[in-house]
């Protein structure tokens, strides 16, 4: 099953048009929700976030348009990560106070805290992992994305992240309970400089004439990873095909879906992965290239690594987020959380066919088994292009096999003049 899925995904990756090929001539699935031409998530590891207030300020700035005194929010949709056991002075679930924990749970419930960032440096045993999962379960909170952290022993990554979390018999083994709890997407340390995943490999846009030596080094490193990946080296297997997600197995045999993050900074994937550094990442060069390529990007960063806790984002960083917000408002890049981007992509890739029912005129979506578990909300944004003569109906029913019926909406012609219907994309409600 996994091999067949991989072949399907690769076949779709080869398709150069803006739509996937699996749905035949009559209708096709648009790569991204109408009217967007690319999709981006900022996936920030919370390392060094000093306290609950700094965490809250970062989230409120990114997700609302409020005036925070040091800057006005940009009103995007951006998630965050959480871990549990960390030394004093670093924000984490167990080290903050009851108010901090209540805030974190609210942000989990709303979908804004959407990734576990290991269980933290202080979590060294299966019991530590279980204590965290029990707490989440007790509050009926389901986090489906796992992101390895530094040298945390609960990590899943064997090669880059040196974890033991998926080694049966190890003191920190927890993959069984964590996957049973609900984790299905994992990040195990892989980062690329390539702008736009799920598109053919290309290094255009990484080179920056302002710093030719560093850019060339970065481009060279990435080219080597690509070649090694193509040649079958396991560590760089994801750098070969440049797919955002691949089916993978943890060392205990559990099936998961591994994703790759990107940071196309000219000086390399690690050097600008901070609050100040993101000013040099979210550049017009990156964002316009992402749109041109029609790619997806999960950006690797650490927004809690700020020079001043009370004012996490300085002027250049604020300008970068404002730039990203302009790309979204122009209908070019849909910005969302890591979990939602992965869910949307999984739903889109699961579509085998989109056909109009002979009676009633509703659209029937047939779905392939074997991919990630999907919830009803993962279908938001799915956009099916239609032949021009089918337009002019406004609202159309969209029936997704095994999921149910949605009220679809007809869109005006897109950038290629195609009409389409979609399951509307709804923004997450920021809870604070």
The binding site for Zn ion (CB under 5 A) comprises 45, 47, 149-150
> Least Å distance between CB 50 and Zn ion?
15
Query: Residue 273 or residue 398: which is nearer to Zn ion going by CB?
Result: 273
> Least Å distance between CB 101 and Zn ion?
20
Query: Residue 31 or residue 149: which is nearer to Zn ion going by CB?
Result: 149
For residue 291, give the H/E element and its range. Answer: helix 284-293
**CA dist 234 → 238, 239, 248, 400 (Å):** 8, 10, 11, 36
Q: Does a cis peptide bond (omega within 30 degrees of 0) precede residue 378? A: no
For the record, the structure tokens of 167 come out as: 């080694």
> Least Å distance between CB 280 and Zn ion?
20
Query: Residue 174 or residue 305: which is nearer to Zn ion going by CB?
Result: 305
State how far the Cα of 371 lies from the Cα of 337, in Å rounded to an integer.
20
Query: Residue 145 or residue 334: which is nearer to Zn ion going by CB?
Result: 145
CA 312-84-249 angle, to 5 degrees, is: 105
> Least Å distance between CB 47 and Zn ion?
4
State how far the Cα of 31 lies from the Cα of 345, in Å rounded to an integer.
9
> Least Å distance between CB 164 and Zn ion?
17
Query: Residue 115 or residue 206: which is nearer to Zn ion going by CB?
Result: 115
The percent of the chain in helix, strand and coil, each rounded to the nearest 5, is: 30, 20, 50
Q: Which residue is nearest to Zn ion (CB)?
A: 149
CB-based contact 300:202 (threshold 8 Å): no
State how far the Cα of 352 lies from the Cα of 17, in Å rounded to an integer.
17
Cβ neighbours, 10 Å, residue 255: 14
From the number of C-beta atoms within 10 Å of its C-beta (0-12, 13-18, 19+), residue 62 rates as buried
For the record, the structure tokens of 294 come out as: 């029609």
Query: Residue 47 or residue 280: which is nearer to Zn ion going by CB?
Result: 47
> Least Å distance between CB 234 and Zn ion?
23
Half-sphere exposure of 419 (CA within 13 A, CB side): 14
- Write down the residue that tokens 């609050």 correspond to: 275
- Write down the residue that tokens 């920190």 correspond to: 172
CB-based contact 164:124 (threshold 8 Å): no
> Least Å distance between CB 301 and Zn ion?
11
Query: Residue 46 or residue 325: which is nearer to Zn ion going by CB?
Result: 46
> Least Å distance between CB 52 and Zn ion?
18
Query: Residue 150 or residue 177: which is nearer to Zn ion going by CB?
Result: 150
């Amino acid at each position: 099953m996994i091999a067949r899925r991989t072949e399907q995904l690769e076949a779709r990756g080869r398709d150069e048009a803006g739509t996937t090929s699996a749905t035949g001539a009559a209708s096709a699935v648009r790569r991204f929700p109408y009217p967007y031409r690319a999709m981006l998530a900022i996936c920030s590891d919370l390392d060094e976030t000093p306290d609950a207030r700094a965490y809250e300020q970062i989230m409120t700035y990114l997700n609302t348009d409020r005036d925070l005194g040091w800057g006005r929010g940009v009103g995007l949709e951006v998630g965050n990560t959480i871990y549990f056991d960390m030394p004093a002075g670093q924000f984490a679930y167990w080290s903050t106070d009851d108010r901090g924990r209540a805030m974190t749970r609210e942000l989990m419930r709303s979908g804004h805290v959407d990734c576990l960032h290991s269980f933290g440096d202080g979590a060294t045993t299966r019991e530590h992992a279980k204590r965290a999962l029990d707490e989440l379960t007790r509050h009926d909170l389901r986090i489906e994305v796992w992101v390895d952290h530094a040298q945390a022993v609960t990590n899943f990554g064997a090669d880059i992240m040196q974890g033991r979390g998926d080694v049966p018999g190890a003191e920190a083994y927890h993959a069984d309970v964590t996957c049973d709890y609900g984790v299905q997407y994992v990040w195990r340390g892989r980062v690329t400089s390539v702008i736009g995943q799920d598109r053919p490999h290309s290094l255009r846009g990484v080179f920056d004439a302002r710093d030719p030596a560093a850019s060339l080094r970065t481009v060279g490193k990435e080219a080597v990873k690509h070649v090694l990946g193509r040649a079958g080296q396991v560590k760089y297997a994801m750098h070969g095909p440049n797919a955002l997600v691949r089916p993978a197995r943890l060392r205990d045999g559990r099936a998961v879906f591994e994703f790759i993050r990107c940071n196309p900074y000219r000086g390399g994937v690690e050097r600008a992965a901070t609050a100040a550094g993101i000013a040099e990442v979210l550049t017009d060069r990156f964002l316009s290239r992402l749109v041109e390529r029609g790619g997806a990007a999960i950006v690797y960063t650490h927004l809690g690594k700020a020079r001043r806790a009370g004012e996490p984002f300085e002027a250049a960083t604020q300008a970068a987020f404002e730039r990203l917000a302009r790309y979204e408002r122009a209908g070019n890049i849909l910005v969302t959380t890591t979990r939602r981007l992965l869910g949307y992509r999984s739903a889109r890739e699961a579509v085998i066919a989109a056909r109009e029912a002979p009676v009633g005129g509703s659209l029937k979506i047939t779905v392939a088994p074997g991919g990630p578990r999907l919830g009803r909300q993962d279908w938001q944004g799915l956009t099916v292009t239609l032949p021009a003569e089918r337009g002019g109906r406004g609202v159309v029913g969209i029936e997704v096999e095994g999921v149910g019926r949605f009220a679809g909406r007809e869109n005006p012609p897109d950038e290629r003049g195609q009409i389409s219907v979609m399951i509307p994309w709804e923004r997450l409600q920021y809870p604070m």
